Amino acid sequence: MPTRVGLESYEVMACHGAYDFEREKKQPFVISIWATLASDVIEDELEQTLNYADLQSAVDSEIVNSEPVKLMETLCNKLVSLISQNELVSAISIRMEKPDAPFPHPGGLAVVEHEWSRV
């Protein structure tokens, strides 16, 4: 069974959304990322795995410190573009939640999930 390295429920504040007002004021995003390693970790060495702190740094770079975009799908693609540069990673699974997304009726949670694998 492949090894997966993850970052669960990392909440950040950022300015992204389909509407102009969403791109003007920070709102919460909750991100979970799982990266599957291309091979098993044989030795007890950090160089053989993905440091989960790198996943947190990727979120900070591509979501918190980036120019506003309209779609969470775009944010997922940006994360994949960055994380997949690491040759140790063979697959990535991302779940992005937007708890304060504007809905026409009370209730619900806006969620986008994205899967990527090296082919």
Mean pLDDT of each 10-residue bin along the chain, 119 residues long: 93 97 96 95 87 96 97 98 97 98 95 95
For residue 29, the domain's CATH number is 3.30.1130.10
pLDDT at 93: 98
Give yes or no: 70 in active site: no
Inter-axis angle of helices 72-83 and 52-59, nearest 10:
140
pLDDT at 63: 98
Report how many domains make up the chain. Answer: 1
Query: Which of 26, 70, 78, 98 is the catalytic position?
Result: 98
pLDDT at 2: 86
pLDDT at 61: 97
pLDDT at 32: 98
Enclosing domain of residue 81: 4-117
> Distance between the two ends of the chain, CA-based, in angstroms?
18
CA 85 to CA 53: how far, in whole Å? Answer: 15
pLDDT at 43: 86
CA 100 to CA 31: how far, in whole Å? Answer: 14
